[in-house]
Amino acid sequence: MLRRRKKIKIGLLSGGGDAPGINAVLRSIVRKAIQDYGYEIVGVKDGWRGLVEGEFIPLDLKSLVGLLPKGGSILGTSRTNPFKSEDGAECILKNVSEHDIGAIIAIGGEDTLGVASKLYEMGLPVVGVPKTIDNDLVGTDYTFGFQTAVSIACEALDRLHTTAESHHRVIILEVMGRYTGWIALEAGIAGGADAILIPERPFDIDEVCECIRRRQKRGRNFSIIVAAEGAKPKGGEEIVYSSGVDAFGHARLGGVGYYIGKEIEKRFENIDTRAVVLGHLQRGGSPNAFDRVLATRFGIAAIDLVHEGRFGQMVAIQGNVMVSVPLKDVIGKRKTVDLKLYEIGATFFG
Ligand code: F6P
């Protein structure tokens, strides 16, 4: 009698900060995995934490209803770093083996994929999907979530323009992006910012004030400045919201918008400034159409890699072509902004 072959089980997890499009990736993987490859899929709760502690959520075709436009992650997420505890990595390998999981697909940014890469070296069959609104991962032109964050920041800039103009104010919009200025730069260009401050180009506050003065000379008595949360003054440090670091050693950035506003007020007799911190509005809610398509393509590419047994890889988009790059070539690096794009933005400063 023929024995039925056991179904291969694949575990999916999302780690780090959420990004619009995680659920669209899950939908895409689960659909293709079950429909075309006959795999069994299990979700891991809250990123690496769920794999350390063995917490799973069954996923089937019915779990996919309504997922494409849904923000957040139905699996939950965390910034758990299993290498911070003595036996975190061992617990993961044990849980994977005890639950008969044949492969893991990790959806995350540099921290989550850094863990994936180390676990791969320890024998875990894993594939990565690049997720972060910061767009700072090397090896891929885009991470999903980024374009949605840019659209939200651009809409905020359009709204700030009308109120800044009516009140003759300088408004500073502080956006996320951690140590890179991708969101600030693209939103700033799209939203017609009068100055864009990014971590890659430490700013001189007097030059920022010059932009405002140039506009005043042209009769433009309001200005809009976009500041990446990681922007810092020349010779200075990033401004942090609170002391302490997370499990991956990151400080919580925030406050540069207020700092810039106060410095501008010190340098002008009659300028009223306001700072707006866009914060997690950039991450919450539905992915835009671009990110839904990108997330869908990443999901299909990831399950295809698993099916081909090509582990230790991250799916990526390069020039609109889906490719894969070794995780080890991605981690420990940072994709900083294209300075040619910055020069385009700078053409419109002041
Ligand atoms: O990496 C994504 C990101 O949104 C950064 O832009 C930001 O600095 C950070 O996460 C905020 O993290 P948290 O959600 O823990 O406040």
User: Catalytic positions, please?
Assistant: 134
| φ, ψ dihedrals at 220, nearest 5° | -95, 95
| Segment 242-258 mean pLDDT | 95
Taking the C-alpha atoms of residue 185 and residue 176, their distance in angstroms, rounded to an integer, is 11
DSSP result, 256-290 = HHHHHHHHHHHH-SS--EEEEE-GGGGTSS---HH
Cβ–ligand 1 distance for 177 under 6 Å, the answer yes
Quick check: do 9-144+287-329 and 147-282 share a fold? yes
Give, for ligand 1, the residue of 178, 242, 250 to mutate: max count of ligand atoms closer than 8 Å to Cβ. Answer: 178
Q: Does the structural domain 9-144+287-329 have CATH classification 3.40.190.290? A: no
Q: What percent of the chain has pLDDT over 90?
A: 97
The highest-level CATH class for domain 147-282 is alpha beta
pLDDT digits (tens, 9 = 90+) for 162-179: 999 999 999 999 999 999
Cβ–ligand 1 distance for 287 under 6 Å, the answer no
Rounded distance from Cα 49 to ligand 1 centre (Å):
18
Taking the C-alpha atoms of residue 217 and residue 201, their distance in angstroms, rounded to an integer, is 26
Distances in whole angstroms, Cα of residue 32 to Cα of each of 39, 181, 252, 282: 9, 35, 38, 29
Confidence of residue 5 (pLDDT cuts 50, 70, 90): low
**3-state class of 9 per DSSP?**
strand
pLDDT digits (tens, 9 = 90+) for 262-308: 999 999 999 999 999 999 999 999 999 999 999 999 999 999 999 99
Helix axes 88-98, 110-121, angle to 10 degrees: 70
**3-state class of 316 per DSSP?**
strand
Point out the ligand 1 atom lying closest to the alpha carbon of residue 252: 8
Helix (H) or strand (E) holding 197: strand 195-197
In what side-by-side order are the strands of the sheet with 170-175? 195-197, 223-228, 170-175, 273-277
Q: What is the DSSP letter of 250?
A: -
Rounded distance from Cα 17 to ligand 1 centre (Å):
6
Confidence of residue 3 (pLDDT cuts 50, 70, 90): low
Give, for ligand 1, the residue of 110, 131, 176 to mutate: max count of ligand atoms closer than 8 Å to Cβ. Answer: 176
Rounded distance from Cα 112 to ligand 1 centre (Å):
13
| Segment 189-216 mean pLDDT | 98
Confidence of residue 205 (pLDDT cuts 50, 70, 90): very high
Which residue's C-alpha comes closest to atom 2 of ligand 1? 17
| Segment 76-81 mean pLDDT | 98
pTM: 0.97
Question: Domain map of the chain by residue range?
Answer: 9-144+287-329, 147-282
Helix (H) or strand (E) holding 170: strand 170-175
Confidence of residue 27 (pLDDT cuts 50, 70, 90): very high
